[in-house]
Amino acid sequence: MNQQRVICFIDGFNLYHAINRLNTPHLKWLNLWSLSSVFIRPKSQKLVDVIYFSAYADWLPQSKKRHTQYVKALISSKVSTVLGKFKQKDRKCPKCKHKWCGHEEKETDVNIALAMLDLAYKDKFDHAFLISNDSDLAPAIHMVRKNFPHKLITTIVPPHYTPLPIFDHSPLDR
């Protein structure tokens, strides 16, 4: 019996923020290959790749250092990585009119969408797992399903996921 080839696409910050809300810091160092393996059916499926999509917060040196170490650990455990970037963005609270400089992750959604489509066209997977709760990825999912109706896509929502507030007055954004 041929095994289905599975690729897991992971929205790094989407997963990170969900894990952060669990208040169990050791989970931030989660082995994503092992996590992805939990979702497959070993008799009928084979995990062929895990791809982690994220970006470094350059304006937060300690955070960037830890994130860089984590990415190195992921790579050593066979996880592929695709990094985007952050863009500075002026923010303003609609209620109190307070202004600050925030940061917005860029390219991650596009990188996930393009990778999913590219690997579908190259016939590198039969079943894709997408760990994210980002609705911006819906068009890519629909396009893969439309052009490759025999390919399966399963979305896996990170635990206790709730979107981040748009107007966060935390010291990290000032």
Beta carbons of 164 and 16 less than 8 angstroms apart:
no
87, 29, 81, 80: which is closest to 58 by C-alpha?
A: 87
Mean pLDDT per 10-residue segment, the chain (174 residues): 94 88 86 95 96 90 91 95 88 87 86 97 97 92 96 89 42 34
Q: Which residues of 66-100 are buried (b: 16+ CB within 10 A; e: fewer)?
A: ebeebbeebeeeebebbebebeeeebeeeeeeeeb
pLDDT, position 18: 85
pLDDT, position 26: 87
pLDDT, position 154: 95
pLDDT, position 37: 96
How far apart CA 6 and CA 48 sit, in angstroms, is: 6
Domains in the chain and their CATH numbers?
A: 4-173 (3.40.50.1010)
DSSP string, 57-98: -TT-HHHHHHHHHHHHHHHHTT-EEEE-EEEEEEEE-TTT--
